[in-house]
Amino acid sequence: MIKQELKLDRSWTLFLDRDGVLNKNRSDGGVKCVGDFVWEDGALESMRILNDLFGRIIVVTNQQAVSEGLITEAELNLIHQKMIKDVSDAGGKIDMVYYATNRKEENSIYRKPGIGMALKARKDFPEIRFKKSFMVGDTVNDMMFGKKLGMINALISNEYSNLTQQFGLVNYHFDSLKCFADFLKRICN
C-alpha cells in the first residue's frame, strides 16, 4: 500500500462508484428498480462524514443494463433521485451523478475505465482538480479510471486483491465506505 501524505481540505473532490460502494451489489444482475437499491451498511453515515471533508462529491457509475434493455433510463434516474434524497436526508450531499450506459464492447470513453465521466464533471465543476481527488470503487475498472487521472485510489473490498496491488493501482484498501470515511476523519482531525 502506497501511503501518501494527505492534506485534505474542501478544495478536494470525492469520486464515488455506486454499486458495491454506496449500495449492495446484487447477485441477480443488478439494481433494476428503486426497490432493488439497498444501502451498504454505514454508507449513509459515511456520506455525512465525507460531506464535511470534501468540497465536491460526484458519483460515476457504469450502467450498461440500460443498453441491454434491462432497465430504462427513466427508472435509473428515479433510482438516482432516491439515492440523492436519502443522502441529503442523512446530512450528506451528492453534487452530481454521471452514468455510462455504453456496453463494454463499445469501448466508449464514458464507460469506466474510460475517463469521460470525469472530464464531464470537470467541465461542469471547473474547480475540480484530479490531483486533489479520490476515486473510491470496488473494481479494477474503478482503479484504472482513477489512476489514469492521477487521483488517489481507494479500493472497497473485503478481499485482498493481488491484481490491483501488482499494478500499483490501489493506494488504500478498506472493507467498506464507512472504514474509508472513518479513516479520513481520523487523520484529518
Residues interacting with Mg ion, by CB under 5 A? 17, 19-20, 138
Kindly tell me which of 49 and 136 has the beta carbon lying closer to Mg ion.
136
| Cβ burial, residue 47 (10 Å; 0-12/13-18/19+) | buried
Residue among 111, 178, 152, 126 nearest 4 (CA)? 152
- Please give the residue whose beta carbon sits closest to Mg ion in the complex: 20
On whether the CB atoms of residues 76 and 18 are closer than 8 A, the answer is no
Is 142 a known active-site residue? no
**Helices and strands: H and E segment counts in the chain:** 6, 6
Kindly tell me which of 109 and 140 has the beta carbon lying closer to Mg ion.
140
Write down the catalytic residue from 9, 17, 124, 138.
17
Is 182 a known active-site residue? no
Q: Which residues are catalytic?
A: 17, 19
